[in-house]
Structures are given as structure tokens and as C-alpha cells.
A and B are shown apart, each in its own frame.
Chain A
Amino acid sequence: MSATGRLPWAVAGLAGALFVGWAIAPESALYTQWLNGHRLLAIAAVLKLAYLLAGAACAFACRDHLEPGNPARPAWFLLSLGLLSTFAGQLCLAPFQIVFGKTPFPSVADIFYVLACPFLIAALLVFLNAYREAGLPLGSLLERGLLVAGVGVLAVVILRPVAATPGPLLDRILTIAYPALDLVLLVPLVLLLRMALRLRGDRAGEVWLLLLSGFVFLCAGDICFAYLQSLGEEHLDPFVHATFILGYALIAAGAERQLRILKS
């Protein structure tokens, strides 16, 4: 990859480190003298918008490069819609974050964020079905049953403290909805991750490891966000930004790699 091609991913790595550093050492000179909370929020807003737009554009271009009837074509389209809906949500928040240094919650942005989840879940399910139809091994019925049971246990562990927290009804619905939808996403995600590990060491494997690690970061971000909102764990805020920036960047990188394969 050229130096120019590496730049967006180097920026994502640096941003991730910057926000993790903010969480670990918020009293250091970097975060008190040069970069205050308002500036960091503005940086996060701009980076998220850039990676989401790049990801949506690349995923749509992948759909465009696949012939009609290809089982992966609708999956790339659904992925681009999911990323575009997330972009619209982030676009609603960006003026507040950049101008006022605040993130209103709940807000109109949540409509787009919630809307994105079914698109992303559907995208992974369509990918999964396409690979199953192609004869790729996706695990036995028992393994899939164990996976669903594991996600169920995880759901109880994660959602119980969030659900038990008092607060306005809409806030509670949203803080439960995000991790709950992510847990639904986790089932096809784990099955696809298994497949991606078998693909490792080649170009298709690289695409899938990037895409799926991006989804893992998104799930982690939503869970951090739920805890932040419901349990008042403000110290998690920089981690939420870091996970979302890395998540969006990795998904965009995966879609870009796939596009490169399809164009080659």
C-alpha cells in the first residue's frame, strides 16, 4: 500500500491512542493545556464522519462492482445503508459537538443510530447465508446453539445492571436497545469471524478480519456507551470515542480492501 493509502489508517491508530491516553491520563499536560475536552470531541466528530462516509461509499462501490444475482451484492448494499444511517446520526450530533462541545442524549441522532442496527444485522446475515450457500463451513448446529446460549448469558450480564438503573423512559429504552441490538449482531459476527480466521493469510481474509474487528469495536463502543449513560461512568467517555473511531475506520478499511480486490 502507498504512503498516501496508509495515512487514513495511521490517523485512526493515532486517534485511538489519543483517546485512550485521555482516559488513562486526563490530567497530563497534553489534555489540560493543548487539547481540552471540547477540542477532542470535535476531533472525534470529524474523524467519525470521515470514516463513516468513506466506509459507506466503499461498501456501495463493492455492491456496484458485483454483478446482479451475486449473493454478496445485497449484503454490501445493506452494509452501505447501515453506515450511511450511522453517518446521518453522527451528522446530527456534529454541530453540537464541534460548536458547543456537548453530545445531547437522547436526540434525533438516535433515530438514525437505531435505524442503522437492522441494516447492519441484515448485512451480516446475508453475508452468512451467501457463504453457507457457497459451501463454506460455518459450524455445526450444536456449535451455533452453544453460541446463541453464550450470547444469551452475556446479554443477562451486560443488560441487567443497565436495565436496573432509574431514569427517563426514553433514555432507558435507548441505553438498553444499543447493547441488545449489538448482542443480536454478535451471533452472525462470531460465525463470520470463525470463517475469517480460516481465510487468514490472503486478501479475502484481510478484508474480513478488518470488517469484523470493526464490528467488534462497534459492539464494545455501544456497551461502553450504555454503561456511561446508565451508570454514570464518565471516565469511559474517551474509550467510547476511541472504540467508535477505530470501529468505523476498520470497517471502512475492510470495504476499501474488498473494493480493491473487485477492481483488480
Chain B
Amino acid sequence: MTTTETVDAVVKLLAPHIGDTMARSATEAHCQKLGMAASSPPRPDQLDALLGKLGGGLNIFLGRDKSASVIGEVRQALTALEGKR
């Protein structure tokens, strides 16, 4: 699973809550800051950091519980995507 595929999977799940544009720009910005190259597979520590950053942002809009639930869904989706390979 490449970073591009990761971003697509994350955006699909975040978009209903913060919109497609914001989900994509926030995810891509965090990936860039974490040094995740588009065509390379992200390391587990990078993925954890990405989900942590996104969870912090979602927290403001959705509150801690809902945000944790959405990030849990994202984590499951990424695990499933990884399992398909």
C-alpha cells in the first residue's frame, strides 16, 4: 500500500465529517510533514503519527469520542487494505 492509496482511503472516511477538500488537504499536508513519499509504502510509525495528527484535528469538530471512533474506522480500513495485498 503506497502513501497515495493510504491518502485515498483516509479521505474517503474523513470526507463525510470535514468535507472532501479539507480531508484531502489536511491528510496530504500531514503526510508531507511526516516525510511520507507518495509512491512509497508508509512505515507503521508514520501511519500512527498521521492518524494521531488527524485525530487531533477531528477532535475540534467532532469531540473526543466521535473522533476516536472515526480514526478507529480509518485504522480498520487501512488494515483491511494492507491485508488485501
Query: Which A residues are within 8 Å of any B CB, using their own CB?
Result: 65-67, 70-72, 130-131, 134-137, 195, 198-205, 207, 261-262, 264
Contact = CB atoms under 8 A, between A and B. Distances in A.
A137 B66 CA distance: 23
B16 A203 contact: yes
A204 B17 contact: yes
B60 A135 contact: no
A134 B19 contact: no
Contact of B57 (A134, A200, A205): A134
Nearest to B57: A134
Nearest to A131: B60
Interface residues of B, number: 23
B20 interface: yes
A261 B29 contact: no
Contacts of B25: 137, 198
B58 to A, nearest CB: 8
Nearest to A66: B63
B56 interface: yes
Nearest to A202: B19
A71 B56 CA distance: 10
B26 interface: yes
Contacts of A262: 62-63, 66
A199 B14 CA distance: 11
A135 B63 contact: no
Closest 7 CB pairs of A and B: A134-B57, A202-B19, A204-B61, A72-B60, A199-B19, A67-B64, A198-B22
Contacts of B20: 201-202
A199 B17 CA distance: 9
Contact of A137 (B17, B29, B59, B62): B29
Contact of B22 (A71, A136, A264): A136
B21 interface: yes
A98 B34 CA distance: 61
20 contacts: A66-B63, A67-B63, A70-B59, A70-B64, A72-B59, A72-B60, A134-B57, A135-B26, A136-B22, A195-B22, A198-B19, A198-B25, A199-B19, A202-B15, A202-B17, A202-B19, A204-B61, A205-B19, A207-B61, A261-B62
